[in-house]
A and B are shown apart, each in its own frame.
Chain A
Amino acid sequence: MTLTVIQALASHWRTHRLQLATLLIGLALATGLWSAVQAINAEARASYDRAADQLALGRFDGLHNPAGPIPLSRYVELRRAGWQVAAVLEGQLRVQGQTLRVLGVDMVAYPALPAVTQIEQSGTPPDPADMLTAPGRLLTTPVLKPLLAGQTGLPPILISDALPPDLILTDIGVAETLLKKPGEISHLIILPDQPGSIPPLSTIAPELERVPAQEQLDTAQLTDSFHLNLSAFGLLSFAVGLFIVHGTVGLAFAQRRGMIRTLRALGVSMRRLVWLIMAELSMLAIVGGILGLVLGFFLAGALLPDVAASLRGLYGVPVSGQISLQPQWALSGLAMALGGTFLASGHALYRLSRMPILSGAGLQAWRSAASGSWVVALAGVAAIAGGILTLLLFGGLVAGFVMVAGLLVGSALVLPYALSRVLILFQRSAKGPIAQWVWSDMRAQLPGLSLALMALLLALAANIGVGTMVSSFRLTFTGWLDQRLTSELYVTAATDQQGQDIADWLNPQVDAILPIRSVELAHSSGPLFLYGIIDDQTYREKWPLISSSERVWNRVHDGSAVLINEQLARRENLWPGDTLAITSADTLTIAGVYSDYGNPTGQAIVSMSQLDRIAPGAEARRFGIRVAPDRATDLAQALRNQFDLPRRAVVQQAAMKAQSMQVFEKTFVVTSALNILTLGVAGFAILTSLLTLWTQRLPQIAPIWALGLTRAELARLELLRSVLLAALTALLALPLGLALAWALLTIINVEAFGWRLPMYLFPIDWVYLLGLTLLAATVAAALPAARLLRLPPADLLKVFANER
C-alpha cells in the first residue's frame, strides 16, 4: 500500500514540473548561500586552528606583564625557583615591504613543534646546536623562501610546510637580534608538570599575570566578529530562500488536498500520509541541499580570495586562498536544508494533517487571512521591542545582532498589515472602477504575496543598510586617507644607516622629512604599537583627531601627553584626560584620540624624543616626504637611482591610497556579493509567488474580462500590480534600511571592529535600488502576465462553466 500511496503522491510532481523545479531551486539557493558562507568560515577557522596547532598556541597557561615586556632577569628568577616556563619573543619584521611575523621560542624548553619535528626527521636534519648558536636558523614556509633568500644578514633558512604562511620561527636568541629586542621576552608559557613545591607567583613575580590557556586572545577570537557578520548575512540569504520553499510547498499541499481526501477515503490513514509526505519532503530537501552544496562550493571558491585578503588586511591573519570540501560545512548545509524545509513546510503540513476528510479543496479566504495580519503585526512589534530591549539590557556584539534580527524579522512581520493599511488609503481615494479594483485586488492578494514581499523587504533593507554603511565608510575612509597619507612620497630604506643617508640627501631638496618609527610593545590590552613623530605642521593641520583636549599637539611634543587610536580608546574606554600606562614606568595623559580604520590593534603616538626614551633603538628606516606634488615623480625616480632602491621602496601617495582603497574594497566584496544574491533570491521569490498564485488568479480575473476588459489590459494591470507592490515595499524598506545602517555603524561596527563611523545618506543609490527593484518585479511578473496575454478564452470560460 505504501508504494501505491508514494506513486500517487509523486504523480503530483510529474504534472507540476515547474513547481518541482521552483522548490529545488529555492532550496538550492537557500542552502547554497548559507553553505558558501559556512565553507568560507570553516576554511578560515581551519587555517587558524592549523596555525594554533603548529605553534602550540592556546594549549598552555601564560604569564604576561601588563606593563610591557618581561625582563630576562625575571625569567631567570622563575627558572631558578623551579618554575617550568618557556620564553617567547614575538615581533614583526619588514622584508621588501612585506610585514612578517617572527616567533622566537626557547627551543630547548618549548614544547616540540611540528615544524621542528618535521625538519629533524627530514633526510638531512640540521645539527641541533646550529639551531641554538649563532647565527642560528630560520624556519619558514616554502612561500617565504624566495622573499628571504635574497636578503643579506639573515641566518640560513630551513623550510617546513607545518607553519603558518607568514611566520618565521626561530630560537629566541636569534629573534632578539632580528627584532632588535635584546633581553626582552613578550610572554612566558607555563609548561605542564610543574614541581609541587614552587613558590607562588605573587611572591616571586607579583607584576606578572597568569592567563589561562582558554582566555588567551587567539586569531579565532579576534576574527569572531568578522565571521559572525558573514554568518548573519548567510542566514539572511537562507531565510529569504526559505520564503520560496514555503510558498511552493504551500501551493503543492493546497493542490493535493483533493488527492489527500481521496486517498483517505480509500483507507489510507492520515498518520501514514503525514509520514510519507515528510519522507517526500526529506528527499526533496536532500536533493535541493546537495544542489545547494555544489552551488555553495563554487560560490565560496569565488569569494574566498577576497575574504582572505580582507582578513589579511583587517587582522593580519593569513588564510589559505583555496576552498576544500570539509565534512562539517557540507553536513551543516544538508542539516540546514532539511531543517529549513520542515520549518518552511511545518504550517502547511500541520494544516493538512488537521484537514477533515470531508473538507473542500478551497483556498484560504483572503479576508480571514488579512484580518489575522494585525496579530502578526503585533508579534512583529514585539520582536522589534525585544531586540531593542536585549541591546539595552545586555549590550555587546551578540545583543547588537539580536537587535538587528529583531528589527528585520519584526518589520517583515509588520509589513502585510502596513501594506494593507496603505492600500486601503489608496482604495478610498481611487476614483475609477478599475483603479478601485486594482487597489482592492492588491489587498486581496497580500496574503499570497506577503512572504515574497517580506523577502523583498529584507533584501532591500539589507541592501540599503549595508550599502549606506559601506558608502559612509568609503566616504569617511577616503577623507581619512587624505588626512593620514599627507606625504607625497613614502620611502623605506634597507638599513638604519641607509635611512640616515637618504634623509641627509633629501634634506636640502624637500619641504619636510617625517620619520615613521614605531615599536611593538606588550600591553595589558594586547599588542600596542608606539609611534614617534616630530613636530610638523602637517600633523597639526591634518591628523584625523576625533576627540582632543586643549593644546593637544603642544602637550604631545613637550612629552607630557600621548595620542591613542580609536580602537584602543573604545576597547579600554580611555579618552582625553585619562592616562595610558605605556610601560610600567611610563604613564602619560591622553591628549587626543584619532581614527585609525583597518587596524585591529592598539596604537599610540608620542613625541620622537619620548619614543627614543621609552624604546631606544627603534628602527629609523621609513619616512614620509613632503615635497611639491609636481616634483614627487621625478624625486622618487632620483631616489631609486641614487640609493639603488627597489621600486616598492619608494611609493607615491596616489599609489599608497590606491593600495589602501583596494584593501578597503576587497573587505566589502563578500557582503556586496551576498547582498546582490539576496536581492536576486527575493526577485525569484516574487516570481514563484506569482506563479503560485496563478491558478487562483483566473477566477478573480475572468469576471473582469467578462465585464469588458481585454486580456492585454488585464496583463498590463497584472504587471502594474506587481510593480506597485514592489514599489510600496521598497518605500517601506527605506526607513528600515536606514535603521539597519544606523545599527551597523553605531553598534555592530563599534563592537566588531572598534571604530565608529558617521552616517551619510546616498539618495541616488536609493533611486538606483528602487529602479532595480521595479525591474526585478516587472521581470518576475512578466511571465504570469505573458501567460495571461496568451491565455485562450476557453480557459477563462472554464471559470464560468457550471459543470466544472
Chain B
Amino acid sequence: MLLTFDRVQKSYPGGRPVLRDVSLSLDRGQTLALTGESGSGKSTMLNLAAALDIVDSGEITLDGVALSQLDDPGRAALRRTSLSLVFQQFNLIPSLTAGQNLSFHARLAGCHDPDWCAHLAQRLGLSDLLDRYPENLSGGQQQRVAIGRAMAARPKLLLADEPTGNLDETASATVLDLMLALVADTGAALLLVTHSHEIAARLDRRVHLAGGQIA
C-alpha cells in the first residue's frame, strides 16, 4: 500500500473531534475521492496525509514511512520528494512567472527535468503563458499551472483539495480531465477531496465521511 490511515484520531484545538478512528488505504496508481459535508473532516484527512498536520492518535504511513515518527524537517522533506498538492485557491507564488511556478516544486525536490516540464506545459496548454504572472492568468489557467507544478516533481501521491471548486463548469471539466490523464500517465496515486458526486464518480474509489467517520 502507498498510503494507509490506521485508526486515526484528530481533534480541533478546542477539543472537538474532527476524525474518529478513521482507517483507509490507497494503493499505487489508484484514485480515490473523498466526499462529505462541510466540516466532516475531508480536508483534515488530506492535510494529515500531506504531512502538513499530525495525528492525535493512530498512524499514517506513506510509502512505508510512519509519519508520526518524522520531525518537522522530515515531514518537510517528505512533502518535497514524495507527494504533491493541488489546492482550491491555486496558491501559486505571485512573484514568480507561470513557468517558474511550474518548475518550482521539481527544482525544490532536486528532480527538475526541463523536457518533462516542457511536455507538461504543452499538455496543459500553457506553452504560450509561461512568462505571465499568476495575476494575469484566469482561474482555469492558474489551476492548470498548479497541476503542472504538482506533476513536475513526479510524485508518488497527488493530493488535491477541491481542485475545481473555484472554476466554472467548462474549466472544471478541462482541469479534471488533464489531472486524471497525467495521474494515469505517471502512475501516481490520487486522493481527491470533493463535494461533487459527478467528479467522485470518475475516480476508482469513493469514500464518504460523515461526522469524522467513514460512512
**Cross-interface CB contact of A707 among B13, B54, B89, B105, cutoff 8 Å:** B105
Please tell me which stretch of B94-102, B115-123, B137-145, B169-177 contacts chain A, meaning at least 4 of its Cβ atoms lie within 8 angstroms of it.
B94-102
- Interface positions, chain B 46-105, Cβ under 8 Å from A, are 47, 50, 52-54, 72-73, 76-81, 85, 87-89, 91-96, 100, 103-105
Which A residues are CB-close (under 8 A) to B47? 797, 800
- Interface positions, chain A 424-448, Cβ under 8 Å from B, are 432-434, 436-437, 440-441, 443-444
Is there contact, CB below 8 Å, between A706 and B92? Answer: no
Residues of chain B at interface, number, CB under 8 A:
39
Is there contact, CB below 8 Å, between A443 and B95? Answer: yes
Whole-angstrom distance between the alpha carbons of A709 and B72 in the complex? 9
- Interface positions, chain A 320-373, Cβ under 8 Å from B, are 365-367
Whole-angstrom distance between the alpha carbons of A797 and B96 in the complex? 22
Of A366, A443, A705, A710, chain B has the most CB atoms within 10 Å of the CB of A710
Q: A437-B93, A707-B79, A710-B73 are in contact. List 5 more A-B contacts (CB 8 A).
A: A365-B94, A702-B91, A706-B52, A707-B85, A711-B72
Which B residues are CB-close (under 8 A) to A794? 13, 53
CB within 8 Å: A-B pair count: 96
**Cross-interface CB contact of B161 among A444, A702, A707, A802, cutoff 8 Å:** A802
Interface pairs (10), CB distance under 8 Å: A365-B94, A367-B133, A367-B135, A437-B95, A703-B92, A706-B50, A706-B87, A707-B85, A710-B72, A800-B47
Which A residues are CB-close (under 8 A) to B39? 803
Check: A712 CB closer than 8 A to any chain B CB. Answer: yes
Check: A704 CB closer than 8 A to any chain B CB. Answer: yes
Which B residues are CB-close (under 8 A) to A706? 50, 52, 79, 85, 87, 91
Check: B165 CB closer than 8 A to any chain A CB. Answer: yes
Whole-angstrom distance between the alpha carbons of A794 and B72 in the complex? 14
Is there contact, CB below 8 Å, between B72 and A703? Answer: no
Is there contact, CB below 8 Å, between B100 and A366? Answer: no
Is there contact, CB below 8 Å, between B135 and A708? Answer: no
Check: B109 CB closer than 8 A to any chain A CB. Answer: yes
Which B residues are CB-close (under 8 A) to A704? 93
Which B residues are CB-close (under 8 A) to A128? none
Is there contact, CB below 8 Å, between B95 and A366? Answer: yes
Binary B-proximity of A366-403 (CB < 8 A = 1, otherwise 0): 11000000000000000000000000000000000000
Whole-angstrom distance between the alpha carbons of A566 and B213 in the complex? 92
Query: In the complex, what's the smallest C-beta–C-beta distance from B27 to chain A, in angstroms?
Result: 24
**Cross-interface CB contact of B91 among A367, A443, A799, cutoff 8 Å:** A799
Query: Contacts A711-B72, A802-B88; is A365 near B135 (CB within 8 Å)?
Result: yes
Check: A617 CB closer than 8 A to any chain B CB. Answer: no
A residues neighboring B (CB under 8 Å): 365-367, 432-434, 436-437, 440-441, 443-444, 699-700, 702-713, 793-794, 796-797, 799-803
Is there contact, CB below 8 Å, between B80 and A707? Answer: yes
Is there contact, CB below 8 Å, between B52 and A793? Answer: yes
Check: B107 CB closer than 8 A to any chain A CB. Answer: yes
**Cross-interface CB contact of A708 among B38, B77, B94, B162, cutoff 8 Å:** B77
Is there contact, CB below 8 Å, between B96 and A436? Answer: yes
Whole-angstrom distance between the alpha carbons of A710 and B70 in the complex? 13
**Cross-interface CB contact of A433 among B85, B94, B104, cutoff 8 Å:** B104
B146 to A, closest residue via Cβ: A703
A441 to B, closest residue via Cβ: B95
Of B39, B87, B103, B161, chain A has the most CB atoms within 10 Å of the CB of B87
Whole-angstrom distance between the alpha carbons of A711 and B71 in the complex? 12
Query: In the complex, what's the smallest C-beta–C-beta distance from B62 to chain A, in angstroms?
Result: 14
Whole-angstrom distance between the alpha carbons of A443 and B52 in the complex? 28
**Cross-interface CB contact of B89 among A436, A443, A800, cutoff 8 Å:** A800
Query: Contacts A711-B72, A797-B53, A800-B89; is A434 near B95 (CB within 8 Å)?
Result: no
Query: Contacts A367-B135, A707-B80, A711-B72; is A800 near B93 (CB within 8 Å)?
Result: no
Check: B108 CB closer than 8 A to any chain A CB. Answer: yes
B195 to A, closest residue via Cβ: A802
Query: Contacts A703-B91, A706-B52; is A440 near B85 (CB within 8 Å)?
Result: no
Query: In the complex, what's the smallest C-beta–C-beta distance from B21 to chain A, in angstroms?
Result: 21
Query: In the complex, what's the smallest C-beta–C-beta distance from B98 to chain A, in angstroms?
Result: 13
Is there contact, CB below 8 Å, between B107 and A432? Answer: yes
Query: In the complex, what's the smallest C-beta–C-beta distance from A643 to chain B, in angstroms?
Result: 81
Query: In the complex, what's the smallest C-beta–C-beta distance from A455 to chain B, in angstroms?
Result: 24
Which B residues are CB-close (under 8 A) to A705? 76
Is there contact, CB below 8 Å, between B161 and A703? Answer: no
Whole-angstrom distance between the alpha carbons of A577 and B145 in the complex? 80
Query: In the complex, what's the smallest C-beta–C-beta distance from A448 to chain B, in angstroms?
Result: 12
Which A residues are CB-close (under 8 A) to B93? 437, 440-441, 700, 703-704
Is there contact, CB below 8 Å, between B100 and A436? Answer: yes
Which A residues are CB-close (under 8 A) to B109? 708
Query: Contacts A703-B92, A710-B73, A800-B89; is A433 near B107 (CB within 8 Å)?
Result: yes
- Interface positions, chain B 138-163, Cβ under 8 Å from A, are 161-162
Whole-angstrom distance between the alpha carbons of A61 and B73 in the complex? 85
Which B residues are CB-close (under 8 A) to A800? 43, 47, 87-89, 91, 161
Whole-angstrom distance between the alpha carbons of A367 and B135 in the complex? 9
B91 to A, closest residue via Cβ: A703
Which 6 residue pairs are nearest across A and B when measured between Cβ atoms?
A: A708-B80, A444-B95, A440-B95, A433-B107, A708-B79, A703-B91
Query: In the complex, what's the smallest C-beta–C-beta distance from A291 to chain B, in angstroms?
Result: 38
Which B residues are CB-close (under 8 A) to A703? 87, 91-93
Is there contact, CB below 8 Å, between A433 and B108? Answer: yes
Of A434, A440, A708, A709, chain B has the most CB atoms within 10 Å of the CB of A708
Whole-angstrom distance between the alpha carbons of A709 and B76 in the complex? 6
**Cross-interface CB contact of A712 among B72, B80, B104, B161, cutoff 8 Å:** B72
B47 to A, closest residue via Cβ: A797
Whole-angstrom distance between the alpha carbons of A440 and B101 in the complex? 12
Is there contact, CB below 8 Å, between B161 and A700? Answer: no
Query: Contacts A367-B135, A800-B87, A802-B88; is A793 near B53 (CB within 8 Å)?
Result: yes
Is there contact, CB below 8 Å, between B38 and A700? Answer: no
Is there contact, CB below 8 Å, between A444 and B94? Answer: yes
Query: Contacts A365-B135, A711-B72; is A801 near B43 (CB within 8 Å)?
Result: yes
Whole-angstrom distance between the alpha carbons of A700 and B101 in the complex? 13
Of A366, A367, A433, chain B has the most CB atoms within 10 Å of the CB of A433
- Interface positions, chain B 13-52, Cβ under 8 Å from A, are 13, 38-39, 43, 47, 50, 52
Query: In the complex, what's the smallest C-beta–C-beta distance from A577 to chain B, in angstroms?
Result: 65
Which B residues are CB-close (under 8 A) to A802? 43, 88-89, 161-162, 165
Which A residues are CB-close (under 8 A) to B95? 366, 437, 440-441, 443-444, 700
Which A residues are CB-close (under 8 A) to B13? 794
Is there contact, CB below 8 Å, between B52 and A366? Answer: no
Which A residues are CB-close (under 8 A) to B104? 433, 437, 707
**Cross-interface CB contact of B94 among A700, A707, A799, cutoff 8 Å:** A700
B104 to A, closest residue via Cβ: A433
Which A residues are CB-close (under 8 A) to B161? 800, 802
Whole-angstrom distance between the alpha carbons of A706 and B104 in the complex? 12
B84 to A, closest residue via Cβ: A707
Whole-angstrom distance between the alpha carbons of A40 and B103 in the complex? 61
Which B residues are CB-close (under 8 A) to A713? 76
A702 to B, closest residue via Cβ: B91
Whole-angstrom distance between the alpha carbons of A704 and B92 in the complex? 9
Whole-angstrom distance between the alpha carbons of A709 and B81 in the complex? 11
